[in-house]
Structure 1
Amino acid sequence: NMQLGLQHPNMSIETENLEKWKLIGFGGFGQVFKARHKKWRCDVAIKLPRDADGDIELCEEANHMAQVSFHSSVLRLYGIYSGYPPNGGQKIQLGIVMEFMDRGSVQTLLETLSGPPPYPLAFRLAYEIAQGMNFLHEKGILHHDLKPSNVLLDGDLHAKLADFGLSRVSTSVLMNSKEMSTVKGGTPEYMPPESFDPLYEPVRKFDIYSYGILLWSIICGKKPFPDADPGLVKVRIPKGDRPPCKEIDQTKAEGLRELVGLMERCWDGDPSKRPDFGECDEITKDVFSKHRAGIHHAVGQVMKKLVQLTLSFQK
């Protein structure tokens, strides 16, 4: 099954069709490049693992993406790259070729705006992420690293779930290793209290907790626990610490009260009390529907700011 994605004839993308490689991101897993596909005349993103040991994981990630990539709130998978990478490697490498998102992520959006997006856009993001996550869970896939940097934005600022790199790793194996790196184990600020237990096996309620924290980040426009050291976060979350909701004025927008209620249920310390994504989808759909009329104006406002910033960077 592992090789399934690779055997598919339309899934392989050759080096000679790719040009203008540019490194756009890197991490413990390896590197992400932007390149142009000559024949398709479009930009693509290519994720290359750090070394060949990453090939099996890469194939699993691609197989997961392939199962869900046709959903409108999930990043599209184009295929598997196989060739000599531009970073001068002498070995043929495999990579995942995906849609390139030129508007960055929810994280870069919040940083650029230095705060939350206008309510109609914040509510649409909440709804689209819930839709995409519900679809993943219906397909039996856990995301396991849901956070602002893994929700990418297309040209109209629609949310696309990305980075399924952790979507199948059983944490129990990883947590026993001496250091629990964020690369493998998830991101502490977005992880539920029960997951800090070395014997924890990931289940759907893990993603629901992360979604609650993500909702808070989008509504407040900032990182949870911004000044805390990750080690401290791991101690505080099991003790019941959560991002503060007091600072959210729930009368500011229709539906905000429901959304704050939802995020608090999502991050409940008792996993059995957390809702599922079907319910998150229903509530966020209802909240967004009250603001649908304002969405084009909201997106226009934000795009203006993003363009102004891009221009000022290029000067």
Structure 2
Amino acid sequence: MPSPVPPTRVLSKDIYPSVDIGTCSSPLSKHSFGSTLQVPTQRHHGKVASRLWSSVIYWKELHGVQPVGSGGFGSVYKAKYRGETVALKKVKKCTKNKLASRQSFWAELNAAHLRHRNVVRVIAATTCMPTDFGDERSIGTIVMEYVGSRNLQQIIYGCAEEPLPPERWVKHSLDIARGLQFLHSHKIVHLDIKPANVLVSAEDVCKIADFGCSVQLDTKREASEVVPMSHAGGTYTHRAPELLKGEGVSEKSDIFSFGITMWQMITREQPYAGDRQHVLYAVVAHNLRPDLEDQDAFRSQRGGFCRTLLSRCWDAEARSRFSARDLITQLEQLQAEL
């Protein structure tokens, strides 16, 4: 029997005022009672919008499950669900830090109630699985739209023959920036923007994925305020210095990571060399950043524009970085000149 994900962990009450929460299954609680919830809906100008995601998975309507990949987070499968090709993500329980893995599962659903062209859509989620699919090491399963089998990391580094001209990397940069602007407008910070977490569709559209490190900011705070990190996460090569110092998180943390990602698209090189501890120390203490001086790509007039843009994105002071909206303006200007 499917077990629901309580929407109170990801949605504010004003979005679904008629939902009777009742008793529900939560990976942060000790007991699971298996009751079901009404699928939350959003109201827009007094009208009830279409259901955005389901708090149950109907396992009998899941067919053709094929493994796609696995990692520290768990496993990903391609499948057919209710007639639609989907990606199925089974989140693994971390034996070393069970609380962190449970927080990661809930964070995956921070954007579940949102819809945008450049953000991967969540279809359904549950904390329980049938015995023939789940195991005791799993926290829960998330059904998402199937974007494709490629991510930006594979395009940048996987095949040198695949063209990545300025027209394409500017378009991809705009896709990511627009996804971030949408997320930031809803007070969601991704905190792990990097090429591997940007899926690329068959139509060459980039979609932000993997929200396991994301944070929902307090809407009562001012936009310029930062909040302390509740859990560690993210990729050290793309992590903003204020996060490395434990100072807090804001939307500008994602802009720093975006800058590293855009640099990778332009150069098709790794951002840093050397061991992890050296990089972490140098980023914070000596403003280490990916090379902008010895790269041919930054010596033209367009390259000078990009050099200035990237330097602003990864400024040591978060308040000095572009907002996602300003970043879009800059990239649209660059695109118009191509």
Change beyond 3 A, Cα 1:3–1:290: closer
Q: 2:184 aligns with which of 137, 148, 169?
A: 137
The structure with higher relative contact order (CA 8 Å, sep 6+) is 1
Q: 1:7 aligns with which of 32, 37, 51?
A: 37
- The residue that corresponds to 1:297 in the other structure is none
TM superposition shift of 1:145: 0.4
TM superposition shift of 1:269: 1.4
* Equivalent runs, 1:1-315 vs 2, <5 Å: 1-2=8-9, 7-9=37-39, 11=54, 12-37=56-81, 39-40=82-83, 42-51=84-93, 54=101, 57-62=104-109, 64-68=110-114, 70-81=115-126, 82-84=128-130, 89=135, 94-114=140-160, 117-168=164-215, 172-174=229-231, 184-197=232-245, 199-225=246-272, 227-238=273-284, 239-246=286-293, 247-250=295-298, 255-291=302-338
Change beyond 3 A, Cα 1:86–1:218: farther
CA RMSD of aligned residues (A): 2.7
3-state secondary structure, aligned to 1:185:
coil
Change beyond 3 A, Cα 1:267–1:57: closer
For structure 2, list consecutive stretches of 5 or more residues without a partner in the other structure. 1-7, 17-35, 40-50, 217-226
Distance 1:13 1:104 in 2: 25
Distance 2:187 2:92 in 1: 27
Distance 1:237 1:58 in 2: 29
User: Are 1:20 and 1:35, in contact at CA under 8 Å, matched by a contact in 2?
Assistant: yes
Distance 2:278 2:258 in 1: 21
3-state secondary structure, aligned to 1:216:
helix
TM superposition shift of 1:172: 4.0
Deviations 1:185-214 (CA, angstroms, capped at 9, x unpaired): 2111101222222x4221122111111111
Change beyond 3 A, Cα 1:91–1:216: closer
What amino acid maps onto 2:151 in structure 1? Answer: S
Change beyond 3 A, Cα 1:240–1:228: same
User: Are 1:105 and 1:150, in contact at CA under 8 Å, matched by a contact in 2?
Assistant: yes
Deviations 1:56-86 (CA, angstroms, capped at 9, x unpaired): 6424422x22233x11111111112452265
TM superposition shift of 1:270: 1.8
Which structure shows the bigger proportion of residues in helix conformation?
1
3-state secondary structure, aligned to 1:165:
coil
Change beyond 3 A, Cα 1:116–1:80: same
- The residue that corresponds to 1:301 in the other structure is none
What amino acid maps onto 2:80 in structure 1? Answer: R
TM-score (norm 2): 0.73
Change beyond 3 A, Cα 1:118–1:14: same
User: Are 2:287 and 2:316, in contact at CA under 8 Å, matched by a contact in 1?
Assistant: yes
TM superposition shift of 1:257: 2.9
